[in-house]
Amino acid sequence: MTALALHTADPRDALAAAALASVPDETLRVYLGGRRWFGAKGRALQSVRVEGTIPVSWPSAPEEPYAIAIVRLELDAGTVLRYQLPLGLLGVGETEDEHTLALVESGGAVRHAIVDATLLPAFRGGLANAFRTGATFQADGRSWRVEAIGSGGVELPHESKVGGAEQSNTSIIYGTEAICKLFRRLEPGENPDVEIARFLTMRTQFRNTPQLLGVITMEERDVHCVAGMLSRFLPDSRDAWAHALQHIDAYLGAADRGEPGNPFSDESRQLGMVTRALHEALSSDEDDPAFAPSFATDGEVRRWSEAAASRLADAMELLAARAGTLEEPTQAHARALLQRRDALEDRVRGFADEVLEAGDAGMRIRHHGDYHLGQVLRTRDDQWMIIDFEGEPARPLEERRARHSPLRDVAGMMRSFAYAAAAGAMHTGGVGRDPRVEIRASRWEREAREHFLGGYLGTRGPAADALLPSTPAGTAALLALFEAEKLFYELGYELDNRPAWAWIPLRGIAKLL
């Protein structure tokens, strides 16, 4: 091993504040850069250091020490980020270099390594007990508190594993009972994932999201951060993206010469109904300052329009710079749209005019904020469950907690259907090669949209519903505005990350005209 070695008389002292504070900047940079949950990859880091630690010792094994290290990162432009690192000790022969923050030398030999404590079954077991009994650990004006939600503690099995799907967080799965999500980045204020899950669990009858069971908080003087959450686990569930792709593959590959059956249409209608029930639940309490709905003003509609126009401008500038690098026929498609940029801008701004002409824009409510098929689970008893209310991780916390039109969530799901249909067509080798596959993919997307909207709008239509604009025309125009904003975001993302997929948002943008 080539990792840094800390010299201590007792290996447990390596988790003390003074020892961890001595870990060099470069060591922390390398370690954090290798974590998939680290959100500042590629950013210019001015400095990185452990600014504090909170010792943790579970009553079931007091001789095994752990520490919650708070790492402070100073970025360019004076931005400061903080991350939490639960740390523990492991024998050097039991770990690999990629999991080692530092080695520990004591008694003239290196026998231990400092590793992420979530890798250690004993740490995960102690955390399970803490959700049952409650626990608070303090040091230097900071506290790390574990508590259950509601009356009584939560009984969790000690059988546990670290989940493999999380990107910005770390998940610990306890048997088939619960899942604990540790938020690696510590942000002052309420976390919308916990806040919304708590509201839905404690204040509404909406049951199509996992029940919130517990919360971990970090307090530092007057600063409150949410450090983790415990939710009911849904074993044998699969995300709706994988579920939809399975349906699409069968639909596109069907041997029927005519139109094959499409069972996802009915499921899409069910998802629309569940989504509508979510929005009604989130707008159900007029007395809660964090959730009380309000009517959208004309000024807010204009701001939404300007946000979409800004996305358009950024995406078209990037497209102009990258169009020559795209494959044909995507390159020709890109150049054709660039020539119609003014028409696109007029179209996008025209959506807001249509909303205002219709008379109103409906309500502003708390909403999901990053809604797509990957944020929905299909359970083993064929129910839809909505998860992950954090919103778009790149957006500031205050923006993620802001009220918005519920149609912003609907637009996200509309675009997710488009991506699913395109991914299915690519998977079956039909894009640009088999017209039948492309036609079927378009039909699948269209039917998924129509049935979802049918379930979401219901039989009454939007005219009788204050949640949405009071006319069908206003609803359609506002939904189109949010879809346009999402399309230009997608185009910028694909040009930066997956140029071969840029044709998907380009096709959607062409439909705007």
pLDDT digits (tens, 9 = 90+) for 424-438: 999 887 787 788 888
CB 201 within 8 A of CB 212: yes
Q: Is the pLDDT of residue 76 over 50?
A: yes
Q: What is the mean pLDDT of residues 69-97?
A: 89
Q: Is residue 1 over pLDDT 50?
A: no
Residue 275 pLDDT exceeds 90: yes
With a threshold of 0.85, does the pTM exceed it? yes
Pick the CATH number of 238-512 from 3.90.1200.10, 1.10.3720.10, 3.30.70.270, 3.40.190.10: 3.90.1200.10
- What percent of the chain is modeled with pLDDT above 70? 97
Provide the phi-psi class of 367: left if phi over 0, else alpha when psi is between -120 and 50, else beta. Answer: beta
More confident residue, 329 or 369: 369
Residue 49 has pLDDT above 50, yes or no: yes
Q: Report the SS3 class of residue 48.
A: strand
Q: Token digits for 36?
A: 């998939």
Q: In terms of Cα–Cα distance, which of 179, 196, 192 is closest to 230?
A: 179
pLDDT band at 254 (very low <50, low <70, confident <90, very high): confident
Q: Which residues pair with 102 in a beta bridge?
A: 114
Most confident of 16-25, 183-192, 254-263, 411-420: 411-420
Mapping DSSP to helix (H, G, I), strand (E, B) and coil, where does residue 216 land? Answer: strand
pLDDT at 137 over 90: yes
Q: Where are the domains of the chain?
A: 5-118, 124-232, 238-512
Structure tokens at 217: 């908080």
Residue 194 CA to residue 139 CA, distance in Å, equals: 25
Give yes or no for residue 52 having a pLDDT over 60.
Answer: yes
User: Could you tell me the strand order of the sheet in which 238-239 lies?
Assistant: 238-239, 376-378, 384-386
User: Is the pLDDT assigned to residue 297 strictly greater than 90?
Assistant: yes
What is the spatial distance between Cα 483 and Cα 474, in angstroms, rounded to a whole number? 14
User: What 8-state DSSP symbol labels residue 261?
Assistant: P
For residues 242-256, give the mean pLDDT.
89
User: At residue 177, does pLDDT exceed 70?
Assistant: yes
Residue 459's pLDDT band, with cuts at 50, 70 and 90, is: low
My answer on whether omega of the bond before 329 falls inside 30° of 0, hence cis, is yes
Q: What is the mean pLDDT of the chain?
A: 92
Question: Distance between the two ends of the chain, CA-based, in angstroms?
Answer: 60
pLDDT tier at 2 (50, 70, 90 boundaries)? low
d(CA 451, CA 428): 24
